[in-house]
Amino acid sequence: MWMKKSLKKIFILLFWLAVWQAASLLIANSLIFAGPIQVIESLVRLLPTLEFWKTIFLSLAKIGGGFLLAMVGGSLIGGLSYRFPFLGELLSPMISLLKTVPVASFVILALIWIGSSELSVLVVFVVAFPVIALNVQAGLKNTDWQLIEMANVFRIRGWKRFWYFYRPASAPFLVNACRLAVGMSWKAGVAAEVIGVPAFSIGEQLYQAKIYLETADLFAWTAVVLILSYLCEKLVLAAVQKIVF
């Protein structure tokens, strides 16, 4: 079964790589659309350079830092909003605003506030925070009221009450929130870097590739973002599932 699934995934990957290569041959203009071979050549050229790894490290640290702040803050606010309903109502307009405000508008405003160096941290926090907070609150509300009544009868309080009743109910919501928030964090974080153009960032590399019409490099850095987003999602989900399940 495992081998069958692996072969299926490999076939799907090869199929879309073939479609990509066919499209690049059909367009026949590397400035407009680079093929997978050109992108791989670009990655091979970038991989040995110190600048490539420094850029990845700094972007990963900032985007990851913003996501971790959102995880802590969102979980805390989501829990407090469930525990104190009036606080949830009080914070609801702010969370709705953060959830709906256009990323580009906030990035421009944040550039005025803090400059470009820490821009992606703030933008990622703003994007991921509402997702985490709302899902944590929804997960806690999903706890079976009969279990809560049983906990009241047997006077189960504090940490035991949370661990045995609230945690299992909210765990699926938190996992889904993390799955969604990680991808959104990379999209928003890199977009912020493209606008702010901080030194040694993936956004700066994408901007430079656009300026110098290096389409293969643009695709290569995009592939790096996709890989990093995928690996971060797997790592975060594995950590969260180990904690909450």
> Over the stretch 192-211, which tens digit does the pLDDT of each residue have?
999 999 999 999 999 999 99
| 156 inside domain | yes
Rounded Cα distance, 225 and 219, in Å: 10
Q: State whether residue 199 is helix, strand or coil.
A: coil
pTM of the model: 0.90
| 84 inside domain | yes
User: What is the pLDDT at residue 1?
Assistant: 67
Supply the range of the domain harboring residue 97. Answer: 37-244
Note whether 189 and 12 are within 8 A (CB): no
When divided into structural domains, the chain yields a total of 1
| 186 inside domain | yes
| 149 inside domain | yes
**How far, CA to CA in Å, does 76 sit from each of 82, 177, 197, 206, 218?**
10, 14, 32, 35, 38
Question: For position 72, which CATH number holds?
Answer: 1.10.3720.10
What is the chain's mean pLDDT, rounded?
A: 90
| 22 inside domain | no
Rounded Cα distance, 206 and 186, in Å: 14
Note whether 210 and 195 are within 8 A (CB): no
Write out pLDDT tens, residues 132-150: 999 999 999 988 888 778 7
User: What is the pLDDT at residue 2?
Assistant: 66
CB-count exposure of residue 155 (10 Å: 0-12, 13-18, 19+): exposed
Write out pLDDT tens, residues 154-205: 777 878 888 888 888 888 999 999 999 999 999 999 999 999 999 999 999 9
Write out pLDDT tens, residues 42-68: 999 999 999 999 999 999 999 999 999
